[in-house]
Amino acid sequence: MTRYTVHRFRAAVLRMYLRMSVLIALPLSLVFMFFIPTPDKGLLPLAFALFALWLNWRMRQDSEEPLRLAGGFVMVIMGLMLYGAYISNARLLQEVWVMIFPIAFAPIVASRERFFWAVTGAVSFASVVLLRPEPLTAASAFVFVSAYLTLCFVTLMLVRHNELNIERLAHLSIIDPLTKVYNRGYLKDTLVSEINRCRRNEQTLTVIMLDIDYFKMLNDSYGHLFGDSVLEQVAGALKHAAQRAGDYVFRYGGEEFCILTSALSRDEAFQFVEKLRLGIYALDIENRGSPHRVVTASAGFWCVSDLSEITPSALLLNADNALYRAKDAGRNAVVDFDDLPVSGVEPVKQAVPA
């Protein structure tokens, strides 16, 4: 999730760059074409504006590929900066154009690519210094190189610091503060992405609704602080059991949890849910209000192989129906929604109207 948030941040900055590029390059091409003669007659800024428009259109269609093309966009910017350095007038120092380069590339490329582009910018800067018409003194060259390296370092540090803050905020926004598992707000986004992923890969998706038995009695008997401790321990047991890459644990509300897992058959899904139930029973937490005298949990699940018409609300509703059957059956049990009698609750595929 945090990487996805940084990914969206990079995409937003790239979209801003593209809009700025069009707003600057189009008028500039007209100025060069009709008022200020340049070797390219204004065609290079025009081509750059068209390239930015095309890339912006691609981002509306698919935000993934344009980010992979961000390196090409950076290369075009560098070429234009070098070109601008050589056609700029004597009153504007040519090196100033290249100084802008670190600010341009740092926010839109992946962190592992930034060192490469910093070195590329340094080589470009050196070429501008060496090939400029008037040779620089050693002191001037040192000042310019130091300024470039300082600007590059500061820019990279600021961008990385900003990304770390975005990751921290994203992490806080999706984590339940008490149990340290994912919160209900993140469940909807994850369900949508998991449905799409399992649909593409032709995998099953299992949704599990799990509820701690007699939790109200436990709170009344031992106090809410003890109840909070029980929630933390149960969440820890669930996270310990659900450790595969495609496993997610959410606190759905109160003492209820939702677990997502994929690529399991119905029998494997039942065994997985049973493992979750037994893991909570094995905590051996005292609960005098329960017939079992310890904390137990009931669970209902639905393992779906055909996800072509399935909606997130349908998955949750059917798994929740199975959970209620497990509680009606005496609690501390696991119920598969597909095992419910035909006269019982019919499977729901579409979203329930709000």
* Catalytic residue list: 255
Q: Check: CB of residue 317 under 8 Å from CB of residue 352.
A: yes
d(CA 107, CA 162): 10
* DSSP annotation of 345: P
d(CA 339, CA 267): 12
Integer Rg of the chain from CA: 29
Q: Check: CB of residue 341 under 8 Å from CB of residue 327.
A: no
Which DSSP string do the residues of 83-140 spell out, in sequence order? Answer: HHHHHS-TTS-HHHHHHTHHHHHTTTS-HHHHHHHHHHHHHHHHHHHHHSSSPPPHHH
d(CA 328, CA 312): 25
* DSSP annotation of 286: B
Cα-Cα end-to-end distance for the chain: 28
Q: Check: CB of residue 234 under 8 Å from CB of residue 283.
A: yes
d(CA 298, CA 321): 12
Q: Check: CB of residue 238 under 8 Å from CB of residue 289.
A: no
Q: Check: CB of residue 82 under 8 Å from CB of residue 127.
A: yes
Q: Check: CB of residue 238 under 8 Å from CB of residue 257.
A: yes
* The length of the chain, given as a count of residues: 354
Query: Which among 292, 301, 193, 209 has a CA at the least distance from the CA of 255?
Result: 209
Query: Which among 93, 70, 98 has a CA at the least distance from the CA of 82?
Result: 98
Q: Check: CB of residue 319 under 8 Å from CB of residue 280.
A: no
What's the number of CA atoms in the CB half-sphere (13 Å) around residue 20?
A: 8
